[in-house]
């Protein structure tokens, strides 16, 4: 397999990024956990809600989104946000097509996001994940991230 090309996300990549989102976050996102326990919410699936969140970042923070491409095919992405007042670059979402996982693509995407944050003058980087995301919990510390806290999410029907 050839090494991925990491480049800025373009408008034409949107469909591939949203497909990867749907295929990669089952069991690894809060909305998936909620749906598993409570079922669909207002006729929407966890995929609908997760896709909408990633699509928001593609539209509102496009200059901070990158994709991994192999042979002309988008196989992963990372979406970032910049908080200039605090000097924090936030990795909001990152995913790799399940057929391409385990090949270092996520690491390459995250390294690109960190490089981009530095170029934007950020002094810190932030990322979070759910406890059940074992791959992320191994990857992030290997790139210098330190766990600083845990959050418990609650949800209920009204």
pLDDT reading at 122 higher than 90: yes
Confidence band for 1, pLDDT divided at 50, 70 and 90:
low
Average of per-residue pLDDT across 130-155: 95
Mean pLDDT of the chain: 95
Token pair in block for residue 157: 């029907």
Residue 145 CA to its chain's centroid (Å): 15
For the chain, domains (ranges, CATH) are 5-142 (3.40.630.30)
Instruction: Check: CB of residue 89 under 8 Å from CB of residue 125.
Output: yes
- The pLDDT, as a whole number, for residue 26 is 85
Q: How many CB atoms lie within 10 A of CB 45?
A: 15
List 78's β-bridge partners, or say none: 66, 94
pLDDT reading at 147 higher than 90: yes
Average of per-residue pLDDT across 39-66: 96
């Amino acid at each position: 397999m050839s090494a991925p090309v990491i480049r800025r996300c373009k408008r034409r990549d949107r469909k591939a990024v949203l497909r990867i989102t749907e295929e990669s976050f089952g069991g690894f996102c809060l909305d998936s956990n909620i749906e598993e326990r409570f079922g669909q919410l207002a006729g929407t699936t966890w995929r609908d809600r997760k896709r909408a969140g990633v699509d928001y970042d593609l539209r509102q923070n496009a200059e901070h989104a990158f994709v991994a491409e192999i042979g002309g095919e988008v196989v992963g992405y990372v979406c970032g946000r910049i908080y200039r007042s605090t000097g924090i670059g936030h990795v909001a979402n990152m995913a790799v097509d399940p057929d391409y996982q385990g090949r270092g693509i996520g690491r390459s995407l995250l390294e690109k996001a960190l490089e981009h944050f530095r170029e934007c003058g950020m002094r810190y980087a932030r990322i979070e994940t759910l406890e059940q995301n074992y791959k992320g919990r191994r990857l992030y510390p290997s790139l210098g991230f330190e766990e600083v806290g845990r959050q418990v999410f609650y949800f209920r029907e009204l």
